[in-house]
């Protein structure tokens, strides 16, 4: 009966689109779903797209739960209405809009720009695709009150998305995100959306902002002598068909690196991502062509950015000369260690500096920060929370860098989102600095593990699509929340962090402690042997994520493979004990 009621409600919502002022192509798509595919119809209309950790994101197509010019239009009109209230005292509200390489991205960007001008805003629109971090930079550079990036990040090709930014260059957080949704929900008819505003209010931007952004990126350099000495370091770089194609090589060259090796087939901007199954640098398959190119050219380093140029995956040579992919935690570890070491050597650490990591990112970053006398702060998952902390600390402490396990890192505060461009040049500089001491990046990582302990992390994604999938994911969270394990893989659970209840339970003392971070549907279990299991529903994809962290002792570099395998087995034991595999 419930399914029948839902289908009835969905058909009523779909009929509104058939009766409304929508284009004929959209209506035909709706008619086809109504006649032939009730399951797709339900998924397309059972809810509205909502802002999550990454803004608005969904599969492209007709429907309230799909990315199309109408959902983009209503989101933009809602954002515009909210901005009019927030910036009522300003003579002119300014917005910057950018987009990635995905199908329909330019259409959605131009649609967004047209609606903003229809609301009387002054709009800067990038002349062509640009990376997300440059959009973040441009907001403050151009003194705008907001910005929109059309992208679905590293999602598969059928997706697109809409990231909304505030005047500090960061993605919107509460209360702004919820209030924007409230404004969107007030719009009952697409005729309320002010499509097709005056084009003369749109200013195309490009090279001038590129130059300003690249100048900031190159100012980050801490070891120019090492770069000059090892300028011919062989680096394979691929944008995986995305926005990094122009700015990453340009930034590396300005830093002084002269041996950048391309993967020509993947330099082509294409929203269908023809050379990969998924344009996600977290996945080995996405880097396969770059890895092959590295073997052909005997390159020392491989780097790959995702379609919107904010995440970076890297691969390095192992002790046998084979390319080895590093995960996001390992990259963040190397960068944090390098940054703090060089800041220390250059006499720049005064006690007021800090780094930031998310609650699911390796605790090794905190250990490194403590060693160098640098503060470290933990925030919820998502770079918008890192940016929020930077905003809170502005003028009081100095931000050095910060990152998260999902291949995102940021150096300096001129961008307020993860940045594959600045990360790429800093990874290359770290490699040159290490090479100057006769060390590879893997050698450096092993030394870090010997000094601070061998932290190993893993991630398990369980995909559950559609309405039923969302319900299954919530049921899994409820099960662990209400029936939490007392032991995990033979180790007693000592602490439970429930970020939804904003409460820590100490199972040893049976005391409760308040968590000061904002509410979030995240659970963490900490065991007496230092293992940590975290779980949360993804804010941007139909999946639940399980994060695993274990710690061992590495006494000498030669033991790396053995200890690594032992820790991997321990993680597999945890997964089996929790009945996740």
- Short-list 230, 248, 246, 229, CA closest to 314: 248
CB environment 140-170: b (16+ within 10 A), e (fewer)? bbbebbbbbbbbbbbbebebbbbbbbbbbbb
Distances (CA, A) of 576 to 537, 573, 580, 581: 20, 5, 6, 6
Closest CA to 380 of 365, 401, 358, 362: 358
99 neighbors 129 (Cβ within 8 angstroms): yes
Residues recognised as catalytic = 153
Of the candidates 286, 302, 363, the residue with the CA atom closest to the CA atom of residue 329: 363
Q: Which residues contact 199 (CB under 8 A, 6 or more apart)?
A: 114, 117
The residue count for the chain = 581
* CB distance 280 to 327 below 8 Å: no
Decide if 451 contacts 203 (C-beta within 8 A): no
Q: How far apart are CA 405 and CA 33, in angstroms?
A: 39
Instruction: Please name which of 167, 168, 534 lies closest in space to residue 386, comparing C-alpha atoms.
Output: 168
**Distance between CA atoms of 547 and 511, rounded to whole angstroms?**
25
CA 68 from centre of chain: 22
Separation of first and last alpha carbons in the chain: 34
């Amino acid at each position: 009966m419930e399914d029948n009621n839902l289908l009835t409600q969905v058909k009523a919502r779909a009929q509104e689109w058939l009766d409304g002022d929508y284009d004929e192509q959209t209506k035909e798509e709706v008619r086809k779903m109504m006649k032939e595919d009730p399951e797709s119809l339900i998924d397309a209309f059972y809810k509205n797209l909502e802002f999550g950790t990454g803004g608005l994101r969904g599969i492209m197509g007709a429907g309230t739960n799909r990315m199309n010019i109408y959902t983009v239009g209503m989101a933009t009109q809602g954002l515009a209405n909210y901005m009019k209230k927030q910036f009522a005292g300003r003579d002119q509200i300014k917005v910057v809009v950018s987009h990635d390489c995905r199908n329909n991205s330019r259409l959605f960007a131009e649609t967004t720009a047209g609606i903003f001008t229809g609301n009387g805003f002054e709009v800067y629109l990038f002349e062509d695709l640009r990376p997300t971090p440059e959009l973040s930079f441009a907001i403050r550079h151009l003194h705008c009150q907001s910005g929109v990036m059309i992208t679905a990040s590293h999602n598969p090709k059928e997706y697109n998305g809409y990231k909304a930014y505030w005047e500090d260059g960061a993605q919107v957080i509460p209360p702004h995100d919820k209030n924007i949704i409230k404004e969107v929900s007030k719009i009952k008819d697409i005729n309320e959306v002010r499509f097709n505003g005056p084009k003369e209010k749109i200013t195309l931007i490009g090279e001038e902002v590129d130059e300003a952004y690249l100048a900031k990126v190159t100012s980050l350099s801490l070891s120019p002598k090492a770069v000059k000495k090892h300028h011919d370091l062989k680096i394979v770089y691929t944008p995986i068909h995305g926005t990094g194609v122009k700015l990453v090589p340009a930034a590396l060259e300005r830093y002084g690196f002269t041996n950048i090796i391309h993967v020509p087939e993947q330099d082509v901007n294409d929203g269908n991502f023809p050379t990969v199954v998924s344009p996600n640098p977290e996945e080995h398959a996405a880097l396969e062509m770059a890895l092959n190119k590295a073997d052909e050219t005997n390159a020392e380093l491989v780097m790959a950015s995702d379609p919107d140029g904010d995440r970076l995956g890297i691969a390095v040579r192992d002790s046998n000369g084979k390319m080895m992919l590093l995960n996001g935690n390992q990259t963040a570890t190397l960068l944090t260690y390098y940054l703090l070491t060089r800041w220390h050597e250059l006499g720049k650490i005064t006690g007021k500096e800090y780094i930031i990591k998310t609650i699911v990112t390796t605790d090794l970053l905190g250990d490194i920060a403590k060693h160098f006398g640098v503060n470290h702060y933990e925030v919820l998952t998502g770079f918008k929370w890192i940016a929020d902390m930077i905003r809170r600390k502005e003028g009081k402490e100095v931000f050095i860098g910060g990152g998260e396990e999902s291949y995102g890192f940021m150096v300096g505060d001129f961008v307020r989102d993860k940045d594959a461009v600045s990360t790429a040049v800093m990874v290359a500089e770290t490699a040159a600095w290490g090479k100057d001491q006769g060390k590879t990046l893997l050698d450096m990582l092993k030394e870090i593990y010997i000094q601070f302990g061998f932290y190993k992390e893993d991630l398990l994604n369980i995909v559950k699509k559609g309405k039923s999938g969302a319900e299954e994911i919530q049921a899994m969270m409820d099960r662990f929340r209400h029936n939490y394990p007392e032991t995990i893989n033979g180790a007693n659970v000592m602490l439970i962090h429930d970020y939804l209840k904003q409460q820590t339970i100490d199972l040893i003392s049976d005391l409760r402690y308040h968590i000061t971070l904002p509410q979030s549907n995240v659970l963490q279990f900490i065991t007496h042997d230092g293992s940590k299991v975290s779980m949360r529903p993804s804010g941007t994809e139909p999946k639940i994520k399980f994060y695993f962290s274990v710690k061992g002792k590495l006494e000498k570099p030669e033991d790396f493979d053995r200890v690594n395998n032992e820790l991997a087995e321990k993680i597999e034991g945890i997964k089996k004990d929790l009945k996740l595999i």
